[in-house]
Structure 1
Amino acid sequence: MKIAFLVPAYNEAATIGDVLERIDALGIDRQIVVVDDGSSDDTAAIVRAYAAEHDGVLLLEKPNGGKGSALRHGIPHVDADVVVIQDADLEYDPAEVPHLVAPIESGAADVVYGSRLSGGRAQRAYLFWHMVGNRFLSLVAGVLFNTTLSDMETGYKAFRTEILKSLPLTEDAFGIEPEITGWICRRHLRIYEVPISYYGRTYAEGKNITWRDGFRAVWVLLRVRVTRAG
């Protein structure tokens, strides 16, 4: 299967080149779609230079609007069997993508979540309250949608492409994560989880998500649960 890597990027000049090289080191049939979300550093220039020397790399540029906005901007440009959301900050290692997409390639899954909380892979000891928030949001998702997802907020998700393109996504910022989860649960799709490594950043190192995004996530889950559409 051809795999598309959808990469939202905002001021990730320090890591975006490494991300691109690690994707190509997999040696798979792939497409890379990088959405530069109004970066003020050299993110776009680095991707543009890489694309000039490598086929199948598409750079999209837009004003800053948030992760959700960047993903929604890039989804229509995906042209592959499977799409993986790949953050540009190397908290998630592209080397794990074959493991992530295996349940889709075998025909068992429509969507696969890479879980940071199920154990079995290397984990940086990171922020306690961030972990608590992730577990709480996964619990809320479980109660609302009768699912057993352990890590609803994970940034590593893989989809059959037609599934991702069909979701009625509207969120601009980090609310895109619970919105995706809500819609795939509403549609009773085949969701699998696999354990992944997590190389988390601290706020000093550039992490952007805050407790305010947690409140937004709860609201988004509730909105998707009660809406009639879908």
Structure 2
Amino acid sequence: MVFTPPLEDEEWPAGENDPHAWQAEVMDVVADRALAAGLIRVTEEAQPDGSVAYTTEVLDEEGLSALTAQVIAELAHGETPAALGLSRGGRYCAIMMDRMLNHGITDPEAAMDITPPYITPRSPLPDQTIFTRRPVISAEFEDPEPSSGLDICSLAVYVDGRALVVTVPEGSAVYVQTLPYDLSPGYHRIVIEISDLLGQRRRAEWRFLLAE
């Protein structure tokens, strides 16, 4: 499991009002085979009495239905909860337990996903001249490591400002669709947007030419 806090190597004082969240990918593995996978969010929030509360939220109910989560927080040596600062190397971990009581513990060293997915145009290519009125629109996506994963449901595609109805298989990193209507000759613009599971969004925009 890998924690992916959304901030850089700065400290997050426990006295701030806004809660801070980390996310961890979880897999239940038997004989090197992943049986369940999903995403949890661990949230730290300062309380009025100066203590700190920790909660977990299951973001992928299907993948984590067979797992239970218990959050453990280790205080820095000699510090009180009210004075505790949380950093990228903070001493925080999560314990996952499956129904057979097998335990898995996160590496307490945090890995940050602060980069939105990459979008690579495949068809038509930028500034390409094409000769069909119903071109194939295609692009490839990649969420660089450390990755929280692609949110394929967030995909949005526009041609000349007109939104397309898109369908992409779950787990796919490639979008392919034949335009369902005719284009007129001239330049046309494609806009594609997609997010990762942390909500970090990327937008790619390019044009192509339909010949007379």
- TM-score band, normalised by shorter chain: under 0.3
**Structure with a larger share of its residues in helix:** 1
| TM-score, normalised with respect to structure 1 | 0.25
| TM-score, normalised with respect to structure 2 | 0.26
The answer to which structure, 1 or 2, has the higher relative contact order (CA under 8 A, 6+ apart) is 1
**Which one has the largest radius of gyration?**
2
**Structure with a larger share of its residues in strand:** 2
